[in-house]
Structure 1
Amino acid sequence: MTDQTQRFLFDDTDVRGEWAGLERSYAEVLAKHEYPEPVAQLLGELLAAAALLVGTLKFDGLMVLQARSNGPVPLLMVECSSNREVRGIARYDADQLTPGASFAELMPEGMLAMTVDPANGQRYQGIVALDGATLAESLSNYFASSEQLPTRFWLNADGRRACGLLLQQLPADRIRDSEEREASWQHLRTLADTLLAEELLGLDAETVLHRLYHEEPVRLFEPRPITFRCSCSRERSAKAVISLGQADAEQLLREQGDAITIDCQFCNHSYRFDAADIAQLFAGAGVEGPSGTRH
């Protein structure tokens, strides 16, 4: 498997971790839009972050990471379901992109939102400023500013592969002394800071952990797959048409000519509803119509 995450635990401390590597799913996200290199890299890092985070959450539903700014990259957005299916999109202004621009220059005055939308239960959202030197640092700051468990991220992407490493401090169990807990947490973070981008992008989880923590008792769990899947459908598009109301839908049909076309911003798939489809929808006969879908 080229797209997977692996969880690991430090047996003598109250720290857990996740490693993520994405190739095919990353390539499928990039194939839907033509992104310049810095945008593709940032989107890959956010994809890796979502893959890491979904392994730390116990929920049935959808997690959304969304970064917005007033700069050349006004939007990065990644969705990851509890089934570990991801999709993502970015918006950018090509005229404002400059070679070698830093993260702060690409996404100035930015905000990061993390939303967890469970199938059953209350929706949760947290928002913080994008105030780190990198996306990984900004995500780490998100957890530092919240009441959640202290968490650190290391993220890299190069347009072909997106990888990430996460460390998270757990509630006191094996180590009760606060100073000893902090020393242990600092030690593991310092070792992870030595990880080079080419190592994270080029090595598997077992090799990465051996290089960083060969003197630590680390337990590595079985890998879990990550896949690309867009959640758009003809059924969901039909609901959007119905939500307009019959009069407005028929007016829109006249304005657009022979059909209403709804495009998915994530995968560029188009759903077409002609006059027969519209009549069928508002007659309560379902969404299966003669026009089908097209790319």
Structure 2
Amino acid sequence: MSMIPDITGGADDIVVPFQVDEIDLRGRVIRLGRSVSTMIDRHGYPAPVARVLAEATALTLLLGSGLKFDGRLILQTQSDGPVRMVVVDVATPDRVRALARYDAEAVDAAIAAGRAEPAALLGTGQLVMTIDQGGDMQRYQGIVSLDGQGLEQAADQYFRQSEQIDTRVRLAAAEEYVPGDGGMKHTWRAGGLMVQHLPQAGGEAHRDLAPGDAPDGTILPEPHEAWAEARALTDTIEDDELVDSTLSPERLLFRLFHERGVRVFEAQDVKEHCTCSRDRISGIVSSFTPDERRDMVEDGAITVTCEYCSTSYRFAPAEFDPVE
């Protein structure tokens, strides 16, 4: 078996596109480390809630990294489960922020009952994906029912009903302890894989992985057989493979598709980044009436805290309503 280039090594916070020409398959692998751990630690989410948020972040970045314009992709769940809402906001191509709202008592009860998997925590409701291209462009929204299904199944359903593209998504999140100053440090990781059957997919890849042991003259499968093969291979992935920091995306892809040959595109970095700023928050406060602003004053100031990054902005009332 040929040696393969380990392009990204143990890198985190990247999306790696790939293509398998023989079975008309394209997709992306994502690995998240510091970015998702920062968002989770900032809010102190319980572990089951953190897992839901991490998987939602991986999914949104898998989708958002494929958009070919500067804009936003927003994933939002609204449901009756212990995790009432999750919002992931991706500013293409590489910035993400996310938050979750949950009922702490209901989460504790779910843990005690052994029903703390993401599908049970989300419950029944809707998953809404909004694409905003900015300017005067019309927003696009796709809505999927959440009836006790997890984010993987919801994503597959979204592509079946909205895009009519054969798609399989795998997601995973895990806690990790790594050496740090003063001892072991607790962190979170997330990973994911999305594959899509796109017959006659084109594109020019930057790097190739070795095609493995497939002999010359291999008979290509029919389209329906190709997708069945791709889906079956994707379903062999274990959750720990998706988040393993020692297993590069290239080696994961080689494990899956070496018999067909897999081509890997340039990795794309992603980072946790909130779009809030003092000027933006000031503009929001300015949109309220003077009476409403007076009601906001506490201890002689108007204080606004960003729900995403927990940054607090403090304003003097006179900045909006000068004293005559």
Q: TM-score, normalised by structure 1?
A: 0.88
**Which residue of the other structure, out of 195, 208, 227, is the alignment partner of 1:185?**
227
Checking the alignment, whether the CA contact within 8 Å between 1:68 and 1:111 is kept in structure 2 is yes
**Which residue of the other structure, out of 77, 80, 85, is the alignment partner of 2:90?**
80
**Identical-pair percentage:** 40
The question of 1:156 aligning with 2:156 is answered no
State how far apart, in whole Å, the 2-side matches of 1:83 and 1:197 are: 26
* Offset, 1:223: 0.8
| Deviation by residue 1:28-48 (Cα, 9 ceiling, x = unmatched) | 111220111111111100111
* Offset, 1:162: 0.4
Where relative contact order (Cα < 8 A, 6+ residues apart) is larger, the structure is 2
**Is the partner of 2:124 in helix, strand or coil?**
coil
Q: TM-score, normalised by structure 2?
A: 0.80
| Deviation by residue 1:103-153 (Cα, 9 ceiling, x = unmatched) | 332121121000011123211111110146422111111111213433211
1:291 equivalent in structure 2: none
Unaligned runs of 5+ in 1: 284-295
* Offset, 1:278: 2.1
The question of 1:266 aligning with 2:301 is answered no
The question of 1:108 aligning with 2:103 is answered no
Runs of 4+ that moved beyond 4 A: 171-174
User: Following superposition of structure 1 onto structure 2, how do residues 53-64 of structure 1 map, counting pairs within 5 Å?
Assistant: 53-64=63-74
* Offset, 1:220: 0.6
1:147 equivalent in structure 2: 163
What residue identity is the alignment partner of 1:208?
L
What residue identity is the alignment partner of 1:12?
E
State how far apart, in whole Å, the 2-side matches of 1:171 and 1:213 are: 17
What residue identity is the alignment partner of 1:204?
S
2:42 equivalent in structure 1: 32
What residue identity is the alignment partner of 1:218?
V
**Which residue of the other structure, out of 155, 169, 175, is the alignment partner of 2:197?**
169
What residue identity is the alignment partner of 1:150?
D
Checking the alignment, whether the CA contact within 8 Å between 1:70 and 1:110 is kept in structure 2 is yes
The question of 1:252 aligning with 2:295 is answered yes
Unaligned runs of 5+ in 2: 1-10, 176-187, 203-220
Checking the alignment, whether the CA contact within 8 Å between 1:132 and 1:141 is kept in structure 2 is no
| Deviation by residue 1:236-278 (Cα, 9 ceiling, x = unmatched) | 11111111033432x225x524111111011111111113322
